[in-house]
Amino acid sequence: MLDADFFRRWMTATAALVDREAERLTALDSPIGDADHGTNLQRGFTAVTAALEEEKPDTPGAVLTLAGRRLISTVGGASGPLYGTLLRRTGKALGDAAEVSAEQLAEALRTGVDAVRTLGGAAPGDKTMIDALVPAVDALGDSFAAARDAADEGARATTPLQARKGRASYLGERSIGHQDPGATSSALVMAALAEAAGE
């Protein structure tokens, strides 16, 4: 079973990976965006870590809803409301149980990803974070490591795609040939989840 501590570890591991990869995320956002994705997420997850230390939420659902709210309030770019919605809706779906199973997390995360799809209007193949999140949720039934690998593969598969949502879509065909920054950061979020699970 997964307790609040597990979810805190997931968020702090995400913050650490985002810190480590911030320059790369921003570099990916340079040719097909406005070169701020790394700094956006660094600011957001630093605030998440601080909020979790201050407020000490004591259930899995409370950890994720607090993290989601904090991302929405601190990240100005498109990715703030999108990741904020992902975590808030996943947290809401987990309810107020003290511990949840991996199966419950997989189901809740699917609810969260569906909320991101509704909010942003992106479908798989549109070259967004959805291209990493959907395969990750599909693989989560197998293992956390499988979800991490599926997200990474999904992110790399965005390179030949033409962007149909977000800032990169303004470039039309010129968005082809670049890996999507948001799909890349989603792969980091899933890598942090596998790390928190010790996989």
Helix, strand, or coil here: 134? helix
Contact status: 36 vs Mg ion (CB under 5 A)? yes
Among residues 15, 26, 33, 70, which is the contact residue for Mg ion, using CB under 5 A?
Answer: 33
Binding flags for ligand ADP, 58-97, as an x/- string (CB under 6 A) = -------------------xxx--x---------------
CB atoms within 10 A of CB 111: 15
183, 128 contact by CB (below 8 A): yes
Of Mg ion, ligand ADP, none, which one sits near residue 129, judging by CB under 5 to 8 A according to partner kind? ligand ADP
Among residues 57, 81, 112, 166, which is the contact residue for ligand ADP, using CB under 6 A?
Answer: 166
Applying CB under 6 A, which part among 26-34, 55-63, 85-93, 146-154 lies near ligand ADP? Answer: 26-34
Kindly state the smallest distance separating residue 37's Cβ from Mg ion, in Å. 5
Span 52-111, contacts to Mg ion by CB under 5 A: 77
Helix, strand, or coil here: 99? strand
In SS3 terms, the chain reads as CEEHHHHHHHHHHHHHHHHHHHHHHHHHCCCCCCCCHHHHHHHHHHHHHHHHHHHCCCCHHHHHHHHHHHHHHHCCCCHHHHHHHHHHHHHHHHCCCCEECHHHHHHHHHHHHHHHHHHHCCCCCCCCCHHHHHHHHHHCCCCHHHHHHHHHHHHHCCCCCCCCCCHHHHHHHHHCCCCCHHHHHHHHHHHHHHHHCCC
Contact status: 175 vs ligand ADP (CB under 6 A)? no
Quick one: 77 or 112, whose CB is closer to Mg ion?
Answer: 77
Of Mg ion, ligand ADP, none, which one sits near residue 78, judging by CB under 5 to 8 A according to partner kind? ligand ADP
Among residues 165, 175, 187, 193, which is the contact residue for ligand ADP, using CB under 6 A?
Answer: 165
Span 127-146, contacts to ligand ADP by CB under 6 A: 128-130
Quick one: 78 or 194, whose CB is closer to ligand ADP?
Answer: 78
- Applying CB under 6 A, which residues contact ligand ADP? 29, 33-34, 36-37, 40, 77-79, 82, 120-122, 128-130, 165-167, 180-183
